[in-house]
A and B are shown apart, each in its own frame.
Chain A
Amino acid sequence: MKSFKLDWLILPLLGIALMMLAWQVSSKTWAKELPTPQKTWEVSKDYVIKPFERRGEMDQGILRFTWYSLVLVAKGYALALLIGTPIGFCLGLSKAFTKTFDPIIQILRPVSPLAWLPLGLVLFLGAGKQASELGALFTIAICSMWPAVLNTAVGVRAVPQDYLNVAKVLKLSRWKTLTKVLIPATLPYMFTGFRLSLGIAWLVIVAAEMLTGRPGVGGFLWQEYNSLIYEHIILCIITIGLVGFVLDRLMSLVESRFKTA
């Protein structure tokens, strides 16, 4: 198809319109329990129009819930990067380290957040009221750190020999080699990993909140499912999708900044 003026705007809107149509038709025909778009809007508009209102523990504006979720994600994600990046460097720099830990990483990596969360809760049983938050953080961190770990390792291994030769000829100390050569050379790879990790962290938060019942988008979704308010499930899904999309775009911006360096 030939591109035309404003196609960047009209085509995506067309896609959304088609999707809404399919939704409408589905809820009228084979999925009677699925609320229609209009009904979804009517039931959800209070949460959207007053996004920061707080009516009760589990009855708050959608952006307020989103904010709780983002704060938890930020903590878990920061933990993942703080642990994952150094592990990535060790993997990239040391063959012995790789041989020792790579099998474990490959086995832990595919484990679902739903499997980690109960273990996280068990680990922090002694923490009392904090147990659910610590368990969720543990789960976010351990699930989302792998892309950061593996991309950092790949980046370190891909540092051009030329740069390492410069470090060798100038006899840079280990610290200087790390900070002035290895880290800058690895940054583009690291940020690709960081972006993928953030996507996973956001996926995990919803699962974690659903299981722990913490206030947040995921917790709200699960609660509304139990209360049979299906419109809010759709509201949550759209919110989760939009937030995930925005996070990914933001990280791409940061990433492309380092790509050109």
Chain B
Amino acid sequence: MSHHVDLSNLSKVYSTPKGPAVIVKDFNLRLAKGEFVTLIGHSGCGKSTVLSMLAGLNDITGGAIILAGKELVGAGPDRGVVFQSPSLLPWYTAYQNVMLGVEQVFFTASAAERREIVEYYLTIVGLGESMHKRPAELSQGMRQRVGIARAFALKPKMLLLDEPFGMLDSLTRYELQAVLLKLWRENRITTLMVTHDVDEALYLSDRVVCMTDGPEAEVGEVLEVKFPRPRERQAVLDHPDYYQLREQLITFLEDRAHKHRPAPVPNAPVVTRSPAAEPTNRSAPALVGRV
């Protein structure tokens, strides 16, 4: 068994009054055990749909997912999920939120052992002091830390992250990326993360999988990210390959992701461009220019 996770010909079709709407078509992806893979693409391209099918929160229309040799049916705590919103139950403290999952998975463990697990993971994500606070008393970043602790505390076979830092400010995002990387390094859990942040993808992953735009989204391009681990953010930024990889990703997102769109007429936009027209241009030249 060489692959830990195998998504083969995965498809998602919704039937609508106007006929079937194909969101994801023949999506193929394999993850080795312990690998960190990022799924990147434009908003609404179907990357979250792939993730939620993996999580078992969305029915699979076609194809199959095999995790550790078994075909997945439905949701379960063998996959730790971190959602975009922290999704904590507001009537429970951080501790109780993590405990809810730990009780499910470690039902044979003693109460003391379970308490140890919960406290360990909450301390590691930096909530040792505030583990008995309710989500309302925690900042958005701290809530997401609880979400991460909850996912890791389940000792899942796989970790699914759905734009986990999308709602955070960039400083908090950097902090949490480091927390995530540390936990991942210690536990080596196979991870699939959805994001649309190119830098985040490069900093965290072993491979970046670019998805084409939906409908009928599929794998567009796969980039190997071979920065040495353990990674320091500055070292990654200073790496000679960094900007080349970054540009490759952005170029894909700017041009090749739109496989269904007609190619832009050469020169025409340049001639007519005015500051007012800039926002509709998906700011492509600006981004590439910065690189």
Residues of A within 8 A of B (CB): 162-163, 165-166, 168-172, 180-181, 184-185, 261
The 4 A-B pairs with the shortest beta carbon distances in the complex, nearest first, are A162-B87, A184-B91, A168-B75, A170-B101
CB atoms of B89 and A163 under 8 A apart? yes
CB atoms of B104 and A170 under 8 A apart? yes
CB distance from A178 to the nearest CB of B (A): 13
7 additional contacts (CB under 8 A) given A165-B87, A169-B77? A166-B89, A169-B57, A170-B100, A170-B101, A170-B154, A171-B76, A185-B91
Give the residue of B77, B79, B85, B100 whose beta carbon is less than 8 angstroms from that of A180: B100
Q: What number of B residues sit within 8 Å (CB to CB) of A? A: 18
Closest Cβ neighbor of A184 among chain B residues: B91
B83 at the A interface (CB under 8 A) = yes
B63 at the A interface (CB under 8 A) = no
| Complex contacts, A171 vs chain B, CB 8 Å | 75-77, 104
| Complex contacts, B75 vs chain A, CB 8 Å | 168-169, 171
CB atoms of B85 and A168 under 8 A apart? no
CB atoms of B76 and A181 under 8 A apart? no
CB atoms of A169 and B100 under 8 A apart? no
CB distance from A64 to the nearest CB of B (A): 41
Expressed in whole angstroms, the Cα–Cα distance for A166 and B77 within the complex equals 10
| Residues of A contacting B: mostly | helix
How many CB-defined contacts (below 8 Å) exist between A and B? 44
| Complex contacts, B89 vs chain A, CB 8 Å | 163, 166, 180-181, 184-185
- Best-surrounded residue of B75, B91, B154 (most CB of chain A within 10 A): B91
CB distance from A154 to the nearest CB of B (A): 19
Expressed in whole angstroms, the Cα–Cα distance for A168 and B101 within the complex equals 11
CB distance from A3 to the nearest CB of B (A): 31
Expressed in whole angstroms, the Cα–Cα distance for A185 and B89 within the complex equals 8
CB distance from B36 to the nearest CB of A (A): 20
Closest Cβ neighbor of A172 among chain B residues: B104
Expressed in whole angstroms, the Cα–Cα distance for A165 and B56 within the complex equals 10
CB atoms of B57 and A168 under 8 A apart? yes
Expressed in whole angstroms, the Cα–Cα distance for A171 and B90 within the complex equals 19
- Best-surrounded residue of A162, A168, A169, A261 (most CB of chain B within 10 A): A169
B122 at the A interface (CB under 8 A) = no
Known: A171-B76, A171-B77, A172-B104. A165 touches B57 (CB 8 A): yes
Expressed in whole angstroms, the Cα–Cα distance for A99 and B75 within the complex equals 29
